[in-house]
Amino acid sequence: MSTEVQSATVIKAPSEPLFSKKNIKVLKDPLSDNNPVTVQVLGICSALAVTTQVMPSLIMAISVIFVSAFSNLIISAIRNGIPNRIRIIVQLVVIATLVTLVDQVLKAYMYDVSKKLSVFVGLIITNCIIMGRLEAFAMQKKPWPSFLDGIGSGAGYGLVLLFIGVFRELFGSGSLMGYKIVPDWAYEMGYVNNGLMMLPPAALFLIGIYIWIQRSLNKSLVNVS
């Protein structure tokens, strides 16, 4: 009897290596097969709003990666101490703190970009991807996989943002990251920048095309979501 109890306490789950296969999968899945924007269809709103140029998309992507990674880490670390009834409020406090941090850093060091992103940095708080990952992942899993999941989800979001941003800036204003790409002679020949690309519907079309390509490459995604 007593020996049994002793042996039970001794047997612990073997400690996983930091980048085990499972953890790598957690990190990589959101980039393709479980992309938060194109498969889970979350965070569409800011994907339409901030992607007129590459630079704001990039900053937005980095901000979301930062917020989702660290909110996942913090919530996962304290997950056993959070009373279930007020967990949403606790999650929001953590996210809001991190977002305020990002906002202040942007205002201090990248004022121009911060002005372009305007209210959308603050709105990361309501970005469904972050809340979704907290509820679905961080509340059940250990801190390290949660952290990786946060990075993965944020990167998956950022990947779509960059894809849209590149196309919208290239066709909408003929440049990339502010550098002119379309040469002057093209304008003289009669080429005109596509004004539709500067409007939010263009981002919706592009996300649609992204989803279309993604699902025609991977049939298992068809009719998921």
Interacting residues toward other proteins by CB under 8 A: 190, 192, 194-197, 199, 201, 205, 208, 212
Which tokens sit at 206?
């592009």
Of residues 111 and 212, the one with the C-beta less far from other proteins: 212
Cβ closer to other proteins: 73 or 197?
Answer: 197
C-beta of 20 vs 216, nearer to other proteins: 216
| Residue closer to other proteins, measured from CB, 178 or 200 | 200
CB nearer to other proteins: pick between 28 and 215: 215
Minimum CB distance to other proteins, residue 145 (Å): 38
Spatial distance between the Cα atoms of 200 and 2, rounded to a whole number of angstroms: 68
d(Cα 137, Cα 141) in Å, to the nearest integer? 6
Q: Parallel, antiparallel, or unpaired: how do β-strands 179-180 and 175-176 relate?
A: antiparallel
- The identity of residue 90, as a single letter, is V
Find the shortest distance in angstroms from Cβ 208 to other proteins. Answer: 8
Q: Across the strands, what pairs with 176? A: 179
Cβ 179 to other proteins shortest distance, Å: 23
Question: From the CB of 210, what's the least distance to other proteins, in Å?
Answer: 13
Nearer to other proteins, 147 or 163 (CB): 163
| Ramachandran bin of 70, using left for φ above 0, alpha for ψ from -120 to 50, beta for the remaining angles | alpha
What does each C-alpha distance from 26 to 19, 150, 199 come to in angstroms? 10, 9, 34
| CB 114, CB 121: distance < 8 Å | yes
Sheet strands (E) in the chain = 175-176, 179-180
Minimum CB separation of residue 78 from other proteins in Å reads 46
Nearest to 169, CA basis, from 159, 157, 177: 177
Burial of 197 (0-12, 13-18, 19+ CB in 10 A): buried
Closest approach, Cβ 175 to other proteins, in A, equals 17
Shortest spacing between CB 167 and other proteins, in angstroms: 13
Residue 112 or 184 having the CB closest to other proteins: 184
**Cβ(171)–Cβ(198) below 8 Å:** no
